[in-house]
Protein backbone atom coordinates (compact mmCIF):
# COMPACT_ATOMS: atom_id res chain seq x y z
CA UNK A 1 0.00 0.00 0.00
CA UNK A 2 2.73 2.48 0.96
CA UNK A 3 4.82 1.50 -2.07
CA UNK A 4 1.87 2.20 -4.36
CA UNK A 5 1.37 5.68 -2.93
CA UNK A 6 5.10 6.42 -3.12
CA UNK A 7 5.21 5.25 -6.72
CA UNK A 8 2.21 7.44 -7.55
CA UNK A 9 3.78 10.50 -5.87
CA UNK A 10 6.99 9.89 -7.80
CA UNK A 11 5.06 9.59 -11.07
CA UNK A 12 3.11 12.76 -10.26
CA UNK A 13 6.33 14.66 -9.47
CA UNK A 14 7.93 13.51 -12.72
CA UNK A 15 4.78 14.42 -14.59
CA UNK A 16 5.03 18.00 -13.32
CA UNK A 17 8.74 18.25 -14.20
CA UNK A 18 8.73 16.78 -17.71
CA UNK A 19 7.51 18.94 -20.57
CA UNK A 20 4.34 17.56 -22.05
CA UNK A 21 4.33 16.63 -25.70
CA UNK A 22 1.13 17.22 -27.64
CA UNK A 23 1.19 13.54 -28.64
CA UNK A 24 2.03 10.65 -26.34
CA UNK A 25 4.60 8.88 -28.50
CA UNK A 26 4.54 5.77 -26.29
CA UNK A 27 0.81 5.42 -26.94
CA UNK A 28 1.34 5.96 -30.67
CA UNK A 29 4.15 3.38 -30.74
CA UNK A 30 1.76 0.87 -29.22
CA UNK A 31 -0.89 1.67 -31.80
CA UNK A 32 1.70 1.24 -34.59
CA UNK A 33 3.02 -2.00 -33.09
CA UNK A 34 6.45 -0.40 -32.66
CA UNK A 35 6.88 0.29 -36.40
CA UNK A 36 8.39 3.82 -36.81
CA UNK A 37 7.36 3.98 -40.47
CA UNK A 38 3.77 3.19 -39.55
CA UNK A 39 3.89 5.81 -36.78
CA UNK A 40 4.80 8.49 -39.33
CA UNK A 41 2.11 7.34 -41.73
CA UNK A 42 -0.46 7.49 -38.92
CA UNK A 43 0.74 10.98 -38.00
CA UNK A 44 0.43 12.14 -41.63
CA UNK A 45 -3.10 10.78 -41.93
CA UNK A 46 -4.10 12.20 -38.55
CA UNK A 47 -2.71 15.62 -39.50
CA UNK A 48 -4.97 15.67 -42.56
CA UNK A 49 -8.01 14.48 -40.61
CA UNK A 50 -7.64 16.98 -37.78
CA UNK A 51 -6.93 19.84 -40.19
CA UNK A 52 -10.03 19.16 -42.30
CA UNK A 53 -12.40 18.55 -39.40
CA UNK A 54 -11.19 21.56 -37.42
CA UNK A 55 -11.73 23.82 -40.45
CA UNK A 56 -15.21 22.37 -40.96
CA UNK A 57 -15.99 22.76 -37.27
CA UNK A 58 -15.18 26.45 -37.55
CA UNK A 59 -17.69 26.83 -40.39
CA UNK A 60 -20.38 24.55 -38.95
CA UNK A 61 -23.63 26.12 -37.81
CA UNK A 62 -25.84 23.05 -37.40
CA UNK A 63 -25.59 21.17 -34.13
CA UNK A 64 -25.31 17.81 -35.91
CA UNK A 65 -22.38 19.07 -38.00
CA UNK A 66 -20.57 20.46 -34.96
CA UNK A 67 -21.07 17.20 -33.08
CA UNK A 68 -19.82 15.16 -36.04
CA UNK A 69 -16.61 17.19 -36.40
CA UNK A 70 -15.96 17.30 -32.65
CA UNK A 71 -16.49 13.57 -32.32
CA UNK A 72 -14.11 12.88 -35.21
CA UNK A 73 -11.43 15.15 -33.72
CA UNK A 74 -11.91 13.56 -30.29
CA UNK A 75 -11.75 9.96 -31.51
CA UNK A 76 -8.82 10.46 -33.87
CA UNK A 77 -6.90 12.38 -31.21
CA UNK A 78 -7.48 9.77 -28.53
CA UNK A 79 -6.44 7.07 -30.98
CA UNK A 80 -2.99 8.51 -31.60
CA UNK A 81 -2.34 9.85 -28.11
CA UNK A 82 -3.19 13.55 -28.54
CA UNK A 83 -5.03 13.43 -25.24
CA UNK A 84 -5.20 17.18 -24.51
CA UNK A 85 -6.87 17.85 -27.85
CA UNK A 86 -9.18 14.86 -27.35
CA UNK A 87 -10.24 16.23 -23.96
CA UNK A 88 -10.92 19.74 -25.33
CA UNK A 89 -13.04 18.25 -28.13
CA UNK A 90 -14.85 16.00 -25.64
CA UNK A 91 -15.77 18.92 -23.38
CA UNK A 92 -17.07 21.00 -26.28
CA UNK A 93 -18.93 17.99 -27.68
CA UNK A 94 -20.75 17.57 -24.34
CA UNK A 95 -21.58 21.29 -24.22
CA UNK A 96 -22.99 21.32 -27.76
CA UNK A 97 -24.93 18.09 -27.14
CA UNK A 98 -26.54 19.78 -24.13
CA UNK A 99 -27.71 22.58 -26.46
CA UNK A 100 -24.94 24.95 -25.45
CA UNK A 101 -23.64 27.53 -27.92
CA UNK A 102 -20.36 27.22 -29.82
CA UNK A 103 -18.16 28.85 -27.16
CA UNK A 104 -15.45 31.05 -28.75
CA UNK A 105 -13.13 30.44 -25.79
CA UNK A 106 -13.51 26.66 -26.15
CA UNK A 107 -12.87 27.00 -29.91
CA UNK A 108 -9.70 28.96 -29.12
CA UNK A 109 -8.56 26.16 -26.79
CA UNK A 110 -9.14 23.58 -29.51
CA UNK A 111 -7.41 25.75 -32.10
CA UNK A 112 -4.35 26.08 -29.86
CA UNK A 113 -4.25 22.32 -29.24
CA UNK A 114 -4.64 21.63 -32.99
CA UNK A 115 -1.76 24.01 -33.73
CA UNK A 116 0.48 22.38 -31.14
CA UNK A 117 -0.28 18.89 -32.44
CA UNK A 118 0.26 19.88 -36.09
CA UNK A 119 3.57 21.61 -35.28
CA UNK A 120 4.71 18.54 -33.38
CA UNK A 121 3.81 16.30 -36.31
CA UNK A 122 5.71 18.58 -38.73
CA UNK A 123 8.75 18.37 -36.46
CA UNK A 124 8.54 14.57 -36.32
CA UNK A 125 8.30 14.32 -40.10
CA UNK A 126 11.19 16.74 -40.55
CA UNK A 127 13.34 14.74 -38.12
CA UNK A 128 12.59 11.55 -40.00
CA UNK A 129 13.38 13.13 -43.37
CA UNK A 130 16.67 14.49 -42.00
CA UNK A 131 17.52 11.08 -40.60
CA UNK A 132 16.89 9.50 -44.01
CA UNK A 133 18.99 12.03 -45.92
CA UNK A 134 21.82 11.97 -43.37
CA UNK A 135 21.48 8.21 -43.38
| Domain range summary for the chain, segments of one domain joined by + | 21-134
Tell me, what's the pLDDT at 132?
79
pLDDT tens readout for residues 78-115 = 999 999 999 999 999 999 999 999 999 999 999 999 99
Q: Which residue has the higher pLDDT, 86 or 7?
A: 86
pLDDT above 60: residue 60: yes
Looking at CATH, the fold of the domain delimited by 21-134 is given as: 1.20.120
Mean pLDDT of 33-56: 96
Give the global pTM.
0.83
Residue 19: pLDDT over 70: no
Burial 7-31 (b: 16+ CB within 10 A, else e): eeeeeeeeeeeeeeebbbeeebeeb
Amino acid sequence: MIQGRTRQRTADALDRQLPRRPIDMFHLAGQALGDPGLELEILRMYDEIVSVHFARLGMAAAKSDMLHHLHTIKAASAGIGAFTLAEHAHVMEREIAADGPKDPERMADIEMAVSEVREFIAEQIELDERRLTDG
